[in-house]
Structure 1
Amino acid sequence: MANSFHPEGAIPQAQLPKDRAMVKDAYTVIPKGVLKDTVTSNLPGWENTRSWIIARPIEGFATRFSQLIVEVGPGGGSRKPEPEAAVEGVLFLTRGWLTLALDGELHILEEGSYAYIAAGAAWSVRNDSDGIATFHWIRKAYEPADGYTATSFVTRDQDVEPSQMQGTNGSWATTRFVDPDDLAHDMHVNIVTFEPGTSIPFAGTPAMEHGLFVLEGNGVYLLNDDWVKVEAGDFMWLRAFCPQVCYAGGPGKFRYLLYTDANRQIRLT
């Protein structure tokens, strides 16, 4: 099948590097401006598809998850997308339409659709539309816990009522696709929404590693000891205990897709 993607054209040779990409011991910032055609990856078993790998295990840094931005052209997709039976995943669609076959049921995914794929699930995905479909694919090795089993499900951002952060009058809310008390799940992929002018007024040091992809708006983040400006299309990758403060700049909402690991004892052996 011919590739349906179009190259971005010549890269200006006289242009000085001026983007906001940063890699530090405590965090990485991957701005949208560096996600060019030249850094895409093809995926085995996928047709008419390309991806940008924005997070992957690195010794001494993030070692528990990967995150890809995946573009599927018309007629593209995969009959067996996940090569590792012990790996769970989340698909979050940001553009277009996809047909997802999951454990014998068909689902039409649209912008805002969210699918949790349990480890070992039988699934496939195909773009039956005339346009390009784009989704985030977050993968993690599932860590079983006695008495609990995570099961696959499909929902939409539009159908989940956000939970307001206490004392913020709704200016800070989290769309939780999984009950945080459900110990079957060892990772959370949520959407955090800030109204313009809202901030996290303290430097949090969460014990989980984070992946944050900005879906909408812009803001300023304190990452460790650096203030970083971010906007829609940017990605931040934070190691455990990296201090973080957020301020939503406006004029619209500031929203990001947030990955964290959760609900498991720390393994020491």
Structure 2
Amino acid sequence: MALSSYYAPHGGLSPQTDLLTGRAVFTTAYAVIPKGVMQDIVTSALPFWDRARVWIIARPLSGFAETFAQYIVELAPGGGSDRPEPDDGAEAALFVVEGCIAVTVAGRTEVLQPGAFAFLPPSSGWTVRNTSGDKAVFHWIRKDYDKVEGLDAPPVLFADERMIAPTPMPGTEGRWATTRFVDPADLRHDMHVTIVTLQPGAVIPFAETHVMEHGLYVLEGKAVYRLNQDWVEVEAGDFMWLRAFCPQACYAGGPGNFRYLLYKDVNRHPKLGGPFGSRP
């Protein structure tokens, strides 16, 4: 597969001469965080991380994401953490968009370059370090693992999208395809992180309306995306959050492919008994 060019934020700050009009949208059904918002002023520092800054683009919050948190992590050379995850119940998915990082888990170290993916189960004790001489940027998706009696947690997984043949959607001749890092039939997994590719002019030809919450980070290209009742222009570097049952559709704009990193919660019963499944 040909090498892709993934968008990574670089921070900075808009000059005083810029107009403040932007494309940011926050509603009860969806949110759009444009790439221009991801400047120095909105980065976070984290305990036990060094030479690192983080854009937190989704977090569990009333009226926003319910099932996951998503970070864009930038590591300077030598930066990283030996205690990255503070929650023993959290699983992680990493996807590298710039530079390279070394991830160590269970005595195994993998050097991940752009296009590389890692799944890290709860309590795996993973660490991460930028061992190169250049900056590294990766996505870190965190989710509280939803245990099921009789099912083990999934094992550690490393993969590379360039080594995976995209799965075409039926009847599209490959114009709309999904790169799957894990087997969708593996019910040990309670989230899927995939890459969706639409070629120029390709469409999602109906308003998807379903139970899965989505996080979409645009890696490449541009499109017009249907979010609830609105059509919104998006481009590489933008992030979209869609709550469960928010209608969605898409027209890919070209001239190149439109590609996004997609999170969704899968393979579990909805929780009953009150808000977010908590019984009184």
Which of the five TM-score ranges fits, normalised by the shorter chain?
Answer: over 0.9
Matches of 2:146 and 2:12 in 1, distance apart?
40
Structure 2 counterpart of 1:47, which letter? Answer: D
Matches of 2:116 and 2:17 in 1, distance apart?
41
Equivalent position of 1:33 in the other structure: 36
Deviation at 1:146, TM superposition (A): 2.1
Q: Which residue among 82, 89, 92 is the counterpart of 1:89? A: 92
Deviation at 1:61, TM superposition (A): 3.1
Matches of 1:235 and 1:7 in 2, distance apart?
15
Pair 1:177 & 2:181 matched: yes
Pair 1:143 & 2:146 matched: yes
Pair 1:226 & 2:218 matched: no
Mapping 1:1-269, distance limit 5 Å? 8=12, 11-149=14-152, 150-269=154-273
TM-score by length of 2: 0.92
Matches of 1:153 and 1:121 in 2, distance apart?
12
Structure 2 counterpart of 1:28, which letter? Answer: A
Structure 2 counterpart of 1:175, which letter? Answer: T
Matches of 1:159 and 1:19 in 2, distance apart?
37
Deviation at 1:180, TM superposition (A): 1.1
Query: Are the aligned partners of 2:168 and 2:178 in contact in 1 as well (CA < 8 Å)?
Result: yes
Deviation at 1:7, TM superposition (A): 7.1
The runs of 4+ residues in structure 1 deviating greater than 4 Å are none
Query: Are the aligned partners of 2:11 and 2:38 in contact in 1 as well (CA < 8 Å)?
Result: no
> Can you list the C-alpha shifts for 1:70-129, whole angstroms capped at 9, x where unaligned?
000001000011110000010000000111101110101100110001011021111111
Q: Which runs of 5+ in 2 are unaligned?
A: 1-9, 274-280
What's the C-alpha RMSD, in Å, of the aligned pairs?
1.2
Matches of 1:233 and 1:50 in 2, distance apart?
17
Matches of 1:41 and 1:110 in 2, distance apart?
24
Equivalent position of 2:277 in the other structure: none
Structure 1 counterpart of 2:206, which letter? Answer: F
> Can you list the C-alpha shifts for 1:133-169, whole angstroms capped at 9, x where unaligned?
0000000000011222211111111111111101100
Secondary structure of 1:214's aligned partner: strand
Secondary structure of 1:202's aligned partner: strand
Structure 2 counterpart of 1:224, which letter? Answer: N
Secondary structure of 1:247's aligned partner: strand
Matches of 2:120 and 2:140 in 1, distance apart?
10
Deviation at 1:249, TM superposition (A): 0.4
Structure 2 counterpart of 1:114, which letter? Answer: F
Matches of 1:8 and 1:161 in 2, distance apart?
36
Structure 2 counterpart of 1:268, which letter? Answer: L
Matches of 1:161 and 1:243 in 2, distance apart?
28
Equivalent position of 1:3 in the other structure: none
Matches of 2:48 and 2:210 in 1, distance apart?
37
